[in-house]
A and B are shown apart, each in its own frame.
Chain A
Amino acid sequence: MFALAFAGLATTTAAQQTGSNDRRIVVASKPFGESFILAEMFAQLLEARGFGVTRRPGMGATEVAFSALRTNGIDVYPEYTGTGLIAILHAAPETDPSAVFGHVSKEFASRFGVRWLPPLGFENTYAIAVRRKTAEQYKLKSLSDLALVSPNLSAGLTADFIGRKDGLPGLQSAYGLKFKQVRPLAQAVKYQALSSGAVDVIDGYSTDGFIARYDLVVLTDDRRFFPPYEAAALVSPRMQKELPGAIAALTELSGRIDVASMRKLNARLEVGGEPVGQVASSELQALGLLGGAAKPSQISTGRQSLASYMWSARSSLWDALVRHILLVLAAVVTGVIVAVPLGLMLEQVPRAAEPVIRGAGVLQTIPSIALLAFMVPLIGVGVWPALVALWLYSLYPIVRTTYSGVRDADPQAVYTARALGMTPRQVLRYVRLPLAAPSILAGVRTAAVIAVGTATLAAFIGAGGLGEPIATGLALADTRLILSGAIPAAALALIVDALLGMVETATTPAPLRHAKSERSRENTVRKG
């Protein structure tokens, strides 16, 4: 079963990354609507020009996507010059768009071997937005106006924005803003939070499709704090070397998309719920870049009910489910292979036990998304880093239960086994391990259920699985899409738990089950 899991993952991975000659171009995006549309346009354009394409939509955040590109894990994704300047190069903000483009082009080429294609033609800068009512109440037009009343207002900002130098910290010092409260909010809930009044100010994007939908007012950046964010395709070192034709194809889009048309495209996807493939292909056709019928992407956000959506997407959901199961299986099986012997070893060296188990526990407290992002520069993107992260998470529960199960195995039986002449190895194999089996299995069960949940986050580094519809749904604020991944994931967790529970009961010899119930009965009596 284990070999199957690896074989399964290997083939799906191989299908996405075939040999360098006939290599498919990996087109990725960051997890928000505009990035999805642009990436889908890149993909369709490349396909129309005869290139094989693999889509990796919705990858992590800037750091994840960029490290993947730099290490040739992906080949192209849409990025913004200002982001390149500040988030990646950590350079001081500049205000002239062409100066910024020149700066990043030069630096990226020399430092990373990564190439910026000529900009697509529009800027998508940060926009600070408030409800129309708030704007009227305080007579807000610009960020300078906002600074005067900011102590009365609470802000809901994306975590990314709160942390970046060109985000909240810079904005605060440029305008003297001081909000009553700053809450980190996910992209998906920001607009609802603002319109419901839970927060008064949010960060958005100037091309945002939601600004019109929620009737928001964008405050002007009167001190020109935000640097220019021109959108452009960012291309991997390998693609430059191996596929100059693909670069020529992508350059056809340069200078062809203006702010107004981008905002319309975003609105069609995010407000109108049109499938991203359709939005991209109709725009490519309108630009005269696409002749025949477009091959739409699987991301569909048509206004169907959840059930009919899930039915229509059943084949891709099924693939995601299978991939999810393979990820979990491979991670947990390798976890068992390492953690059980480790737990046994620790029992022999009790002094090392606490530090090692505590170390594994600390590993467990690293937020999954952080651990996954941490893997990218080390191992790249896709299945492997996700497997390593899931494997690391599986260690703690299994090591701990193995160690405590073996340590606490019926002490009288263990002592007598020694006194009758069993060697330490025999005691372990014939007495401690069988007596600890139920405890070890309980740890494996915990690890498996955790892995099912954590594996949903693996989509952020391009490992696929049921997290893919969840990540896309979060990016597009599409609850139905989120649920189409979350419901099968939850069901899978329950099934895995129930199955391993049955295995636990089946492999526990009758006398141990008896001993357990007797012990709990004794405890109850004592407590009573």
Chain B
Amino acid sequence: MADAQRMTNDGHAIELTLSGLTKTYGSHRALDGASLSVEAGECVAVVGESGSGKTTMLRCINRMVDPDSGTVAIDGHDVRDTDATTLRRSLGYVPQDGGLMPHWRIVRNVALVPWLNGMRDADERATNALRVVGLDPDELGSRWPHELSGGQRQRVAIARALAASQSCLLLDEPFGALDAITRSELQRQFKKIRAESRVTAVLVTHDLREAMFLSDRIAVMHNGRIEQVATPSDLRATPATPYVAELLSHVSEQ
């Protein structure tokens, strides 16, 4: 599909470097020296159980959380040198439940970031982005979010993260709340989009299977640290720590 390529052609895939991130909430150490490199055009899945720090780490990238120490760099530039809102508009973000504006129709939701960036073709971009995620803009564009199914809403959220040719996608458990059939449909769609656009992506998930299916490399997170970063096959072949091994054993049991 040419659409997906066109979406990201005017942006460029970026490379992300997270080094030595720490973050403490009261007595809880959410991040304890986490480091991770994501190459341009690569999709890295961050896997871990709830409380492992994976969402906090994701939020450090778009500065929704500022780490106590450590740095996040995009193409070698510290994100703290960029104004937070400008930074966020360049990074696509997909939360678990879509996070659509309930009082806006679908097209307006998808056009949000292009509109914030003052792009004249915001609506056209939104329409294209809807097609990229497999939704018919003519049929759904003028509907309200509550009139859509959970899966459709999640597709809209992905379209919104793509519509402004964002240079990177940050996905926070994007398929976690969906039923099994819808989830696997969306996973396949996402894989297709990624195959065409090669946009850099960080996918936070607690589902190792999903991570293996969608990502180029997997970062296993435990107690605020990255235990191992490896391709799915390397991870399966040589788990670096007992925790990674245990995590793998659960997948094979299923």
Give residues in A with beta carbon < 8 Å to B.
410, 412-413, 415-423, 426, 430-431, 434-435, 509-512, 514-515, 518
Contact = CB atoms under 8 A, between A and B. Distances in A.
Given A421-B88, A510-B144, A426 B116 contact: yes
B85 interface: yes
Contacts of B144: 509-511, 514
Given A412-B95, A422-B116, A426-B116, A417 B146 contact: no
B103 A509 contact: yes
B85 A413 contact: no
A421 B85 CA distance: 4
B112 interface: yes
A416 B93 contact: yes
A106 B62 CA distance: 80
B146 A511 contact: yes
B86 A412 contact: no
A264 B170 CA distance: 91
Nearest to A424: B85
B100 interface: yes
Contacts of B160: 420
Nearest to A431: B101
B26 interface: no
Interface of B: 62, 64, 85-90, 93, 95, 97-103, 112-113, 116, 144-146, 160
A514 to B, nearest CB: 5
Contacts of A426: 116
Contact of A514 (B64, B100, B146): B146
Give chain A's interface secondary structure class.
helix
Given A420-B93, A421-B88, A511-B145, A415 B102 contact: no
Given A419-B62, A419-B88, A420-B112, A413 B146 contact: no
B66 to A, nearest CB: 14
A431 to B, nearest CB: 6
Contacts of A511: 102-103, 144-146
Contacts of A512: 102-103
Given A419-B62, A423-B85, A511-B145, A412 B116 contact: no
B86 A421 contact: yes
B146 A419 contact: no
A514 B100 CA distance: 15
Contacts of A416: 93, 95, 99-100
Contacts of B113: 420-421
Given A413-B101, A509-B103, A419 B116 contact: no
A505 to B, nearest CB: 15
A512 B144 CA distance: 10
Nearest to A416: B99
Nearest to A515: B102
A418 B113 CA distance: 11
- Closest 7 interchain pairs by CB? A416-B99, A421-B89, A421-B88, A511-B144, A419-B93, A412-B99, A511-B102
